[in-house]
Structures are given as C-alpha cells and as structure tokens.
Structure 1
Amino acid sequence: MFKKITTNLMVNDVQETLSYYRDVLGFELVGAVTYDQDFLPSPAPDMPLAFAILKRDEVQLMVQSQKSLSQDLPCFEGMAVGGSISLYMEVDQVAHIYESLKDKVEVVKDLHKTFYGMDEFYIKDCNGYVLAFGSKIQ
C-alpha cells in the first residue's frame, strides 16, 4: 500500500531556502541536518545545513543541498538546481494568499480561474522551482 509522497527538492543553500519558505511563505522548520549528520530542531542561522524538513498545515517539504544529495545519490551529480517540476498546493482562500505574496515573490502566472474549477496562481521560489497555489472555485 502506498502511503504518501513527500518532495525532496535539491537546493543551492538550505539556509537560504529555509528563510524563503519560512519568512515569505509561512512554513516552519520541523528539523535540519548538518553535514556531520547531526539532527537539529533549531539550527543557528549561519550554520551550513545539508537537509531540512519544512511544513505548513498539512503540507510537508524536504530540501537538501546539491552537495549532500549528490553524495547520497550520485545520479544527481552535475544536475542543475530548479527545473522541470511544479509543486501544486491546494489551499484555503487562495485570493488572500495571492494578495499577501504577490509583491514579495516572483509571480509567473497571476491569479486566474481554470476550466477544471480552481482559482490558482504560480510563483517561482528562490531556487527556481515553480509553486502553484489553488482553491476550488466556490
């Protein structure tokens, strides 16, 4: 039985990514791992990190530095950060979220109604990943 899927994004800098997701998107840190494989629930802002888990409500996201991920899985060696993936988050009150973010982020597609019954918008995060936010049209 499949249980769930959690995205692990390869990033340039875990601390920078943590700051972006926490300060701009309202995520919180679950925990982080140093390059020495120490688990830290609350690392110092200047500490180099290999990995972190972030969450907001029911959404969980893992981020791992390019260096660390390439060591764990050599198939990632030389791959570019960011790319051909978009993460779609179903949210409540997408218009409110759009208004609170639009001047702080790179919006790649403004808030719009879709033929499949969603209000949604898309942004690009600090690593070049596309994040979608959508709510069912009421």
Structure 2
Amino acid sequence: MIWTRELEATVSFYCEILGFHLGNYSEEWGWAAISKDECEIMIARPNESTPFERPYFSGTFYIKTDDVETLWHQIKDKVKVAYDMEDFDWGMREFAIYDNNSYMLQFGQDITGTV
C-alpha cells in the first residue's frame, strides 16, 4: 500500500506509463488497486488519523520482471531515473526510477543463467 494525496495522478502514472491495470477505484474511499502480471499495488489517501505530510518510505519497491531491457527502453524517457540499467555482481540486471510521488521503484531481472 502506498499513500498519496494524488490518487488519480498516481493511478494514471502506474497505468499509463508502467502498464498496470486498474482493478478497483473508489474516489469516495480514496483507494485504488492496480495490478500487472503477479504484482499488485494498493494506493490510498491517508485518513484523518494518519500523520501524513508527503509521501515517504525508507526503502524502495523492487519489482522482478522477465524483460527488464524492454521495460527500460519503454519508460526511461517518460520518468525521473534514479539509476540507469546496469548488471550487478549479485546476478541482477536492474534500473530504478521515481514515481510521481517520489517513491523509488527498482525493476530487476535475474541474469545468473544468461551470462
């Protein structure tokens, strides 16, 4: 679950740029569920009892994919890039971007069997 005051803009970012599909959306509840393949993300506006000034998260969201290169080429010019696609010693090819709320999203593909 990610929190945002920009529910509609966040749903649009994930669906239009990253190719997620909208499952459920309730403006009244301030909540949406989006999915792509086996990845599901819930997006919500924080309620009155939740202290929330702006989006925050001390880590990153890591999403594994079977074709990280294609995804990279599809979105790299449409997003704010945290780091370019790179092969790492631990056997992953990955890159990272920021969503419209400044949450960092990493996308990676296992390359241990391909090298």
* Same fold (TM > 0.5): yes
Name the structure 1 match of 2:32. Answer: 52
1:100 aligns with 2:74: yes
Question: Alignment partner for residue 97 of structure 2, among 123, 133, 136?
Answer: 123
Percent identical among aligned pairs is: 29
Question: Alignment partner for residue 85 of structure 2, among 111, 120, 128?
Answer: 111
Question: Alignment partner for residue 134 of structure 1, among 91, 101, 108?
Answer: 108
Higher helix fraction (1 or 2): 1
1:85 aligns with 2:59: yes
Name the structure 2 match of 1:22. Answer: 15
What CA RMSD, in Å, does the superposition of the two structures yield over aligned residues?
A: 1.2
1:70 is aligned with what amino acid? N
Name the structure 1 match of 2:47. Answer: 70
- The structure whose Rg is larger is 1
Q: How many residues align?
A: 112
Give structure 1 stretches of 5+ with no counterpart. Answer: 1-7, 38-49
Q: TM-score of the superposition, structure 2-length normalised?
A: 0.91
Encode CA deviations 1:61-109: one digit per residue, 9 max, x unaligned: 00001xxx233xx2x3134213323100000110111011110111111
Q: TM-score of the superposition, structure 1-length normalised?
A: 0.76
